[in-house]
Amino acid sequence: MPAIEVILVDHLDRPTGKMEKLEVHEKGLLHRAVTVYVFNSRHELLLQRRASGKYHCGGLWSNTCCSHPYPQEPTRDAAERRLREEMGLELALTPVFELSYNLPLSNGLIEHEYGHVFFAISDEPPCLNPEEADDWCYCSLAQIEQEMQANPAKFTPWFLHTFPRIPHTLGDFRLTA
């Protein structure tokens, strides 16, 4: 499998170069990322459990999907591509907010990302790519918050970091399927 390159960026998300994905995570360099949150018509969030074979955070619960744009790939196109590849869903995505974080992972890697967060609405069940995710569920935001407080080790670091912004952002996003 060929090496996958990601886009290095500065703190304003301006591209500064490109580098192989694993090397970027080993060095903790700031790079562009995409994060997708899919809600159903009951305002529940579609979660995925990352496949155990992933190079980091395998077996942990997370938002609907995440990834990185390829160099020269538009950010929304990358989010839509990964939603298809990971969850088998073809949905129109709405950009909602951006954020940056620098989070250590349990295996010595670092998630230092400038993230573009997208929302979508769907009642369609996902069709998981088993190399990416091995389980899914829809949960209310209150259920997720309660489980995060009781068992934070069950969730990816970036989901724990990003999730608190979601309830506040939903007020500006129309949840109608």
- The reply, when asked if residue 44 is annotated as ligand binding, is no
- The reply, when asked if residue 161 is annotated as ligand binding, is no
DSSP for 61-89 reads EESSEEE-PPTT--HHHHHHHHHHHHH--
Side chain identity at residue 85, one-letter code = E
- The reply, when asked if residue 168 is annotated as ligand binding, is no
- The reply, when asked if residue 23 is annotated as ligand binding, is no
Catalytic residue among 44, 80, 113, 132: 113
Catalytic residue among 44, 57, 66, 80: 66
Residue 113 annotated among the catalytic residues of the structure: yes
- The reply, when asked if residue 145 is annotated as ligand binding, is no
- The reply, when asked if residue 25 is annotated as ligand binding, is yes
Beta-bridged to residue 9, according to DSSP, are 15
Pairing of strands 65-67, 94-104: unpaired
Residue 106 CB-density burial (10 A; 0-12 exposed, 13-18 middle, 19+ buried): exposed
Residue 85 annotated among the catalytic residues of the structure: no
- Residue list, annotated binding site for Mg(2+): 86
- Residue list, annotated binding site for Mn(2+): 25, 31, 68, 111, 113
Task: Just list the catalytic residues.
Answer: 66, 113
- Residue list, annotated binding site: 25, 31, 68, 86, 111, 113
